[in-house]
């Protein structure tokens, strides 16, 4: 039964959508205002509007795993570290738990593995034959302050090395001074440098000041051709928050209504518990609908979240919580 429910949550998406963008037009965002009090009231209402329990909760947590960008972005990353992470990406839940869930034959895997440029090769080798894409952070991650030409060449180098998804970081100063045309041109150039690879634009929302700035930056990045908009690098003092998420997904909804084009969403940074993952899935379900509850349209960027999800799934099948060391490299 759980496998049936899990497949139902897979939706009808045939593959990752591409956003071709549109001409720069300030009319898309200049007149829009974000009411922070209304946003916070909407977020506060989410837990009471929808809950998932028992086997449905287990199915949603399996969906969260499939939407996970399993990430390692540490200064001490080695090929061995990445290889072990990729092994976890290929088998994210212990086989005995997966079998107890009735998913023994279900091809459970994460959405992607996200690494720095120099770890693309080891990740590709470790993931060979799995179908799991490799994502690389780029464009002067995490500050985005490298010379523009170097940022473009970095993207091109990562695509040439085999990354099929590129997570770039925008220049926050362009947002803070309202230079929207320059931001559009920057992201447009990054989109061109990506070629066939999918472009995920990181807004670093904790450094943008207001929800209105988050909305406008989201819209400009989508107009410029971003395939996915992402909250944070995970390196800011404030990372993914639900009010920011609501602001961004409503921008995605409005862009889709205006252009017919699909843009994905990725919260990242500080998402460590299964409960938080469920909150994000509920937000997506409520605001964008079931079609967005799919790894081609929704990702969660995290490095430690998988361990708690695996513990919750073991609790579902055994009735007891296990120690963290029973779920290695999560």
- Based on the residue annotation, tell me whether 285 is a catalytic residue of this protein: no
In the beta sheet, which residues pair with residue 230? 202, 266
Instruction: Give the tens place of pLDDT for each residue, 164-184.
Output: 999 999 999 999 999 999 999
Mean pLDDT, the chain, whole residue set: 92
Instruction: Give the tens place of pLDDT for each residue, 208-257.
Output: 999 999 999 999 999 999 999 999 999 998 999 999 999 999 999 999 99
Q: Does 11 score more than 50 pLDDT?
A: no
User: Of the residues 69, 88, 227, 230, which is catalytic?
Assistant: 230
User: Of the residues 69, 88, 167, 227, which is catalytic?
Assistant: 167
Closest C-alpha among 70, 52, 73 to residue 280: 52
Contacts of 35 (CB under 8 A, 6+ apart): none
Angle CA 291–296–301, to nearest 5: 110
CA 82 to chain CA centroid, Å, is 19
Sheet holding 134-138, edge to edge: 264-266, 228-230, 198-202, 165-169, 134-138, 112-115, 68-71, 300-302
> Is the CATH number of domain 2-6+19-321 3.20.20.70?
yes
Q: Does 47 score more than 80 pLDDT?
A: no
pLDDT score for 4? 60
User: Of the residues 69, 200, 227, 266, which is catalytic?
Assistant: 266
Contact 69, 112 (CB under 8 A): yes
Q: What is the mean pLDDT of residues 51-72?
A: 93
Q: Helices in the chain by DSSP H: which ranges?
A: 2-9, 36-49, 54-66, 79-90, 95-100, 120-127, 148-161, 172-176, 180-194, 211-223, 242-259, 274-287, 305-318
Angle CA 215–216–222, to nearest 5: 90
* DSSP state, residue 250: H
Sign of CA dihedral 25, 31, 36, 42: negative
- Based on the residue annotation, tell me whether 185 is a catalytic residue of this protein: no
Q: Is 145 helix (H, G, I), strand (E, B) or coil?
A: coil
Map tokens 């090769």 to a residue: 121
- Based on the residue annotation, tell me whether 167 is a catalytic residue of this protein: yes
Instruction: Give the tens place of pLDDT for each residue, 261-311.
Output: 999 999 999 999 999 999 999 999 999 999 999 999 999 999 899 999 999
Encoded tokens for 99? 């079998």
Contacts of 80 (CB under 8 A, 6+ apart): none
Instruction: Give the tens place of pLDDT for each residue, 249-269.
Output: 999 999 999 999 999 999 999
Q: How confident is the model at residue 2 (pLDDT cuts 50, 70, 90)?
A: low
Angle CA 59–63–65, to nearest 5: 120
């Amino acid at each position: 039964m759980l496998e049936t429910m899990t497949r139902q949550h897979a939706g009808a998406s045939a593959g990752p959508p591409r956003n071709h963008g549109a001409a720069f037009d300030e009319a898309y965002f200049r007149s829009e205002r974000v009411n922070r009090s209304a946003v916070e009231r909407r977020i506060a209402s989410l837990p009471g509007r929808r809950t998932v329990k028992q086997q449905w909760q287990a199915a949603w947590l399996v969906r969260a795993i499939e939407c996970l960008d399993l990430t390692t972005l540490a200064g001490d990353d080695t090929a061995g570290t990445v290889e072990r992470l990729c092994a976890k990406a290929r088998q994210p839940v212990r086989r005995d738990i997966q079998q107890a869930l009735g998913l023994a034959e279900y091809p459970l895997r994460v959405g992607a593995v996200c690494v720095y440029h120099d770890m693309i090769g080891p990740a590709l080798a470790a993931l060979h034959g799995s179908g799991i894409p490799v994502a690389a952070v780029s464009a002067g991650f995490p500050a985005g302050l490298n010379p523009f030409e170097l940022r473009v060449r970095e993207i091109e180098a990562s695509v040439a090395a085999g990354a099929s998804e590129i997570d770039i970081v925008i220049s926050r100063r362009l947002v803070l001074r309202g230079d929207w045309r320059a931001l559009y041109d920057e992201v447009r150039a990054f989109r061109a440098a990506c070629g066939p690879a999918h472009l995920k634009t990181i807004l670093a929302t904790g450094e943008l000041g207001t929800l209105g700035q988050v909305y406008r930056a989201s819209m400009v990045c989508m107009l410029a051709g971003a395939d996915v908009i992402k909250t944070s690098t995970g390196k800011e003092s404030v990372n993914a928050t639900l009010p920011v998420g609501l602001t961004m997904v409503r921008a995605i909804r409005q862009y889709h209504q205006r252009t017919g084009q699909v843009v994905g969403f990725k919260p990242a940074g500080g998402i460590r518990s299964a409960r938080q993952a469920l909150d994000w899935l509920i937000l997506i379900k409520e605001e964008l609908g079931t079609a967005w509850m799919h790894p081609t349209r929704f990702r969660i960027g995290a490095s430690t979240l998988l361990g708690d999800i695996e513990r919750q799934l073991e609790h579902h099948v055994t009735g007891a919580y296990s120690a963290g060391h029973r779920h290695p490299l999560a």
